Structure 1
Amino acid sequence: MFADAEPDISSSFPTFDTLGLSEHVLRAIMEIGYKKPLQVQVECFAPAKAGRNLVVQSRTGSGKTAAFALPILHRIDYSNSSPQVVVVVPTRELALQVHGEFERLGRYTGLKSVCIYGGTGFGEQFNRLMAGVHVIVGTPGRLLDHYRRGNFRTDQVHAIVLDEADEMLSAGFYDDIQKIFELLSNLKQVLLFSATMPFNMENLIKRYMKDPVRIDLSKDQVCVDRITNVAYSVDTSGPRIRTLIAIIEAEDPTAAIIFCNTRQETEVVAKYLGRRGYDAQYLNSDLSQTAREAVMAKIKAGELRLLVATDIAARGIDISFLPCVIHFDLPTDPQQYIHRTGRTGRVGRPGRAIAMVSVKDLHSLRRIESTLGIKLKQAETPTREESLKMLADRKIREFKERLDAKPAIPEEFTTLAKEILADPDAEGLVSLLVDAYMSPPPAAVDDRAPDRRESELARSDGRGTRGFRPSRRR
């Protein structure tokens, strides 16, 4: 959540040493290796530590988790093991991320915290609550479930944090958030963080926040200085997913999140890519919590190249190195474009946001451009032949790299290779071997035939029969 170096910051810009942190928190920061605080962390620290209400509009990836965690760690009575702070987030993944940041920053303070979310049993969460905690991080529904079961008290909760508040409201949690506020009879402080400010957010602010300090760091929401927004025309001569493959080969990202609008589409796209040798997995709410956490761990550790996800499932993914996001489907809401695009270009790093656009996407595209004040740059979509050639060249390079390592190849295999090459059906036999080599394990492969999956994706496109070329007026 912190940058190793923040560009264009003068020597007078506060450091962690001069920010006013306790020695325990400062020690944790130094051990973690964080160098300089980000702007949102500096601007939030003093008013939040003083107990003021905060409304912070800051883009995803700006370091806002630490912006509320740092001051909160200085407002906790560590001799009292009753809950004092509640942090509410929209998804399980974000809950785990925020809780992890609290544990890292508060490791020497004596902090006791718990992360509670749905999709898993109550037992371990109940035990942590019964053992005493200072901070509860959780999703709205599970927080209310635990309270109704009498698993924690709220009479000593003096602060609440709403993280990614706009996403909670858009996901239908407005009533749950109101119920949570009604439980906190001794509430003294509200910290609200959001990338956007929809109209119903102001109703929440007026009702529960007195004289809040407003901090707006969202002027570069789509980060035109760090994120390149690009549009590729969908090649309508084939299934939409073939354009995705062409984009992957042309862009060759080390890692990317591919956004789809439906859960079914994430699964089909990921399996299609896996069937063709790409390192891809999907993430949606149909997966078990264990499976979701496993996929999240792989993408965060850099062990997964392509993550195909829905908007909700991707919330809370904090990958500082992610160079690229791809909109397989454009979102209908421009604010969602901000959230998706905010997965890349984090903490000062460059990024690319790539949109796949067909004729029937034009309305959504124009709305995104006009609302956000951006223009997507045109990129030339490789032809089918070009993308297949790029794929072949890349795979041959990978094979040669393995060969250059001089692996021990049994003599039987070398003899078999010579016989295959001399056989009249050599091309088909080699294709069969390549298919077996590049395909994922059988358990992960869709049992439908490849051409059926392709036709399914083509039908689900439904976006016109003509290609689209974005305007060259950029």
Structure 2
Amino acid sequence: MSFAELNLHASIQKAISVCGYATPTPIQAEAIPQALSGRDLIASAQTGTGKTAAFIIPALERLAKPGPAGIGPRVLVLTPTRELAAQVADSVARYGRFLRMRYGSIVGGMPYPDQVRLLRQPVDLIVATPGRLIDHLERGRIDLSRVELLVLDEADRMLDMGFTDAVDQIAAATPKKRQTLLFTATMDDPMARLAGRLLKDPSRIAISSPKENHDSIEQRMHLTDNLGHKHKMLHHLLEDPTITQAIIFSATKRDADTLARDLYDRGLSAAALHGDMTQGARTRTLTNLRRGKVRFLVATDVAARGLDINGISHVINFDLPRAAEDYVHRIGRTGRAGATGVAISFVSPADAVYLQRIQRYTGQTVQMHTIPGLEPVSTLPVPGRGGNGAGKGRRPFAAGGQRRQGAGAGKGGAAPKSKAGYQQRGRSQR
């Protein structure tokens, strides 16, 4: 199938052609026709399969036709994080560049006045995180009675983050006759219950993505007791002179800024990369990384997606990702172009369920390592067996392993200081 065979609106087809795309990915080839038919849809697909375009293109096709009069959005896309919302908004801009429409983002951490101005005017499409949207909804700032299409992107992650009630409340504020598209990487019992409440006779699509073996990457896990323990281990590991450059992944943009500033204050050449930075700031940071002026890049998942820099010798998961495919994506930033790499992950007792997902997804059990003098006192509980803290349950895989002094084969001296420092980044106002 080609995009031309989908009989899309001429403006959308033109935008797709300008992007250089001729053939849809498997998830796009299956999901777009189903969505265009008007049926509700449950699509199970991993990150990196092209799922964003799989719902944005049908959404834009709907907006290319006249809709009912009003101010509220005709299309509402819910995402779990600001970073993902920015990625979705970028796709709207890319594929809708030749359409006459108005769209915007309603996410936490952004200025309220800009969002209030957006909602006071007619808008066709809104990309939102549940928490901030609920805030506007309860204050009467947004009317969802005109919603024709509701999209839940990475719905499993929204449930993991505790947004179940918020999603239900938002869906209840939209018309019952709406079309609903649900995209998720996993389909467990909570997800099935959510789908049962919000969707009507949905079509079902499941697209599996090829798993990378990452044979060239040495993977290690370190059990951590608390945030202070994490920082002590990170500072020790970064003393290893075998680290040419490393990407350190954090869960939030605020944590990325804080951690990068901490490393810079310790005399290390560090910088942050996240979704609140302007495009110019991101470009400068990546240029400095490629030129070797930045040795330690502290990044969030979405900001680092697609990075292809051959000099990355180490990846450190300061925060373990909740989604297994994010773990595979993260560690794949090292060991590129025939080189070997090292991937180190910090795991807390609260991360046991996420570790289990990673092991099930990759089919691998990564050995635990300890650092002499920084041994943990906690143990990992077995998910679902009642263990939920230090000293409870048992570890769900072989622990112990070889004791390592640093991030590489042996302990080295302190990393050299550099003038390339951390800069406070500008925030996007979108």
State TM-score, norm by structure 2.
0.70
Tell me the residue number matched to 1:129: 119
Tell me the residue number matched to 1:294: 277
CA displacement 1:149-176 (0-9 Å, x = unmatched): 3333222211100111112111111111
* Residues 216 and 341, structure 2, Cα contact 8 Å, conserved in 1: yes
Tell me the residue number matched to 2:315: 326
CA displacement 1:221-277 (0-9 Å, x = unmatched): xx225786631477x9x9522564367x64645x73424799769734653267444
d(CA) in 2 for partners of 1:442, 1:52: 48
Tell me the residue number matched to 1:230: 218
1:58 partnered with 2:45: yes
1:188 partnered with 2:181: no
Following superposition of structure 1 onto structure 2, how do residues 110-121 of structure 1 map, counting pairs within 5 Å? 110-121=100-111
CA displacement 1:43-97 (0-9 Å, x = unmatched): 2110011112111121122221111001111122543464211101112222222
- Aligned partner letter, 1:40: I
Closer/same/farther in 2, CA of residues 266 and 250 from structure 1, 3 Å limit? farther
Q: SS at the partner of 1:317?
A: helix
Q: CA deviation at 1:42?
A: 1.4
Tell me the residue number matched to 1:206: 196
The structure in which a higher percent of residues are helix is: 1
d(CA) in 1 for partners of 2:162, 2:420: 40
Q: CA deviation at 1:137?
A: 1.0
- Aligned partner letter, 1:374: G
Q: SS at the partner of 1:150?
A: coil
1:42 partnered with 2:23: no
Instruction: Choose from 11, 18, 35 the match for 1:24.
Output: 11
d(CA) in 2 for partners of 1:308, 1:316: 12
Q: CA deviation at 1:213?
A: 1.7
Closer/same/farther in 2, CA of residues 361 and 98 from structure 1, 3 Å limit? closer
1:153 partnered with 2:143: yes
d(CA) in 2 for partners of 1:315, 1:272: 19
CA displacement 1:196-239 (0-9 Å, x = unmatched): 2343111101111122222222454xx225786631477x9x95
* Residues 273 and 282, structure 2, Cα contact 8 Å, conserved in 1: no
Tell me the residue number matched to 2:419: 438
Instruction: Choose from 248, 264, 267 the match for 2:258.
Output: 267
d(CA) in 2 for partners of 1:364, 1:209: 27
Tell me the residue number matched to 2:409: 382
CA displacement 1:290-318 (0-9 Å, x = unmatched): xx612776446734644425xxxx35436
* Residues 45 and 68, structure 1, Cα contact 8 Å, conserved in 2: yes
1:240 partnered with 2:233: yes
Tell me the residue number matched to 2:269: 278
- Aligned partner letter, 2:48: G
Closer/same/farther in 2, CA of residues 62 and 304 from structure 1, 3 Å limit? farther
d(CA) in 2 for partners of 1:118, 1:176: 14
Closer/same/farther in 2, CA of residues 270 and 239 from structure 1, 3 Å limit? same
Tell me the residue number matched to 2:379: none
Closer/same/farther in 2, CA of residues 53 and 363 from structure 1, 3 Å limit? closer
- Aligned partner letter, 2:173: L
d(CA) in 2 for partners of 1:339, 1:89: 16
* Residues 270 and 422, structure 2, Cα contact 8 Å, conserved in 1: no
> How many aligned residue pairs are there?
364
- Aligned partner letter, 2:146: Q
Tell me the residue number matched to 1:67: 54
Tell me the residue number matched to 1:317: 303
Closer/same/farther in 2, CA of residues 228 and 368 from structure 1, 3 Å limit? farther
d(CA) in 1 for partners of 2:215, 2:151: 29
Tell me the residue number matched to 1:171: 161
* Residues 300 and 319, structure 1, Cα contact 8 Å, conserved in 2: no
Tell me the residue number matched to 2:382: none
d(CA) in 1 for partners of 2:115, 2:263: 38
Q: SS at the partner of 2:303?
A: coil
Q: CA deviation at 1:25?
A: 0.8
d(CA) in 2 for partners of 1:152, 1:330: 35
* Residues 260 and 327, structure 1, Cα contact 8 Å, conserved in 2: no
d(CA) in 2 for partners of 1:239, 1:256: 17
1:371 partnered with 2:360: yes
Q: CA deviation at 1:126?
A: 2.7
- Aligned partner letter, 1:272: L
d(CA) in 1 for partners of 2:45, 2:364: 22
Tell me the residue number matched to 1:96: 86
* Residues 27 and 45, structure 2, Cα contact 8 Å, conserved in 1: yes
d(CA) in 2 for partners of 1:344, 1:439: 25
d(CA) in 1 for partners of 2:234, 2:203: 46
CA displacement 1:363-410 (0-9 Å, x = unmatched): 88984565335226789923233x76xx67xxxxxxxxxxxxxxxxxx
Tell me the residue number matched to 2:343: 354
State TM-score, norm by structure 1.
0.64
d(CA) in 2 for partners of 1:442, 1:136: 32
* Residues 89 and 163, structure 1, Cα contact 8 Å, conserved in 2: yes
d(CA) in 2 for partners of 1:228, 1:268: 28
Aligned identity (percent) is: 28
Q: CA deviation at 1:147?
A: 2.8
d(CA) in 1 for partners of 2:95, 2:304: 17
Closer/same/farther in 2, CA of residues 85 and 358 from structure 1, 3 Å limit? closer
Q: Which runs of 5+ in 1 are unaligned?
A: 1-13, 284-291, 393-434, 445-474
TM-align CA RMSD: 4.2
Closer/same/farther in 2, CA of residues 370 and 103 from structure 1, 3 Å limit? closer
d(CA) in 2 for partners of 1:318, 1:369: 19
